Structure 1
Amino acid sequence: MNPVSRSVQGQENLNPDPSSGAGGSGPLLSAAQRSNLLPLTAAGYAWWRARSLRSLGADFTLEREAALFRALCRPQAGQDWLDVGTSAGFYAGVLARADCRVLAVDLSAPMLREGAKREPDARIDWAQLNMERSDLPPASFDGVTVGATLNETRGPAALLAECARVLRPGGQLWLMYLRRTGGPLQAVFERPKAGGLNFPDPAWVGRHLPGLIRTDGLSAGAVQFERYVKGTDPQGAHGAAGRGVWETL
């Protein structure tokens, strides 16, 4: 796997733009992203993550979520995967146990420490990185997982573009996010001071992934699971039977 240097969290963003002059300026963080920089948030994240989907109307345990991901994406031993916004390392751990090599990235150093503690696997590399604009080489991963990070990022379109850029032809993108429902709570949490969250519509997500084909899109309450494949026939990428898999889990 391509080595990635660890950045130092000492400013509002991790990946400054060299073209912007001295010191550079990258994408600012949302309030939700900044809250993840706190050690207390990292310490309690795994507890919250295990209960979050049920609280959002999806009858999902972590075991069922992992089973859905494995059934649709079928990660293979020896593949290179990128886990974007890894937090406590849930998807990174699932991939490592499938004998994949994983680069788990997050804005938060405390989250990365928590993930490494919970998933002490030599197949996982941990790196502090902002995926709204990364320096990762293009076409360097067989798969990318994004678990809820799409809701928290300041620039969801930029994050999706980066995920697509680093995928190899035929590579998979797995998304789990809260879709737009038009509910009053979403309107509250979209306000900058209340979190600055965003709740994309699945059609909006698809428009921002040109060159990728959606093979599966499954909803449970406000939670959306989607699988995309880069530049290949979805029938040739074993992904057209998502609804049947959903019903049997």
Structure 2
Amino acid sequence: MFWTTPEFPVVVKALNEGFLVTLQLFFVTIIGAVPLGLVISFGSMSRWAPLRRPVRWALARKGRKPGSVAKLLSAFRPISLICRLVVWVIRGTPLILQIIALFYVPGMLDLFTWGGGERSRFAAVAVAFIINYACYFSEIYRGGIQSVPVGQQEAGQVLGMTRRQIFFKVTLLQMIKRIVPPMSNEIITLVKDTSLARAISLKEVIWVAESFMKGNQGISGLLWPLFFVAVYYLVFSGVVTLLLGRLEKKLAYFQ
């Protein structure tokens, strides 16, 4: 049996080291993407229209009614447009392509290079993952915020609450309860997406398992490490699912 072979402890040790890289990538992505996604969602919902007042002033000065061009300029919201465009591009392209582009394109354009070390590769992958998942999280946040009835915000204004108080004490608490299920799905997907880091040869657990099949680490022809990796992912996904399920029950007091 494979567990009696001399290669077994060597392979298991390497898999553990690779899985540690996977865990680090997972937690770094969560820590970076959760707040960044909220910022992007605010940007997507931004109502700042810098041309609205100048257009109105110009029309009022000339005594004209707003035409189609004036209405278009008045409705121009640059922050919202940029954020929505970024989200559209990120969500519409494969994550593995984003990782490859982020790692190689800056060097091709003579902007900067990430370097060839393991830390540099990890940094590039982490940035790609954070941006990608922040865009997905931003849409979940936006849907959660917009699902809160407007009447509750108006009630807060009647009570004399500021916009900040309304958001943190009324909107945010209800939004959290609504976004837990879709956020849980994205987080579970992130567990498995970490394997895409091997696209730039980051030594996560899948890369390590494949290396024992291809002979990159002095041992070749071993298929069973890949099945071991499946167990790693199943256990990790199970733990994350259990924790998120408990969180959802904790937030059930809103029902």
User: TM-score band (shorter)?
Assistant: under 0.3
Larger radius of gyration, structure 1 or 2?
A: 2
TM-score, reference length from structure 2: 0.20
TM-score, reference length from structure 1: 0.21
More strand by share: 1
Report 1 or 2 for greater relative contact order, CA contacts < 8 Å, sequence distance ≥ 6.
2
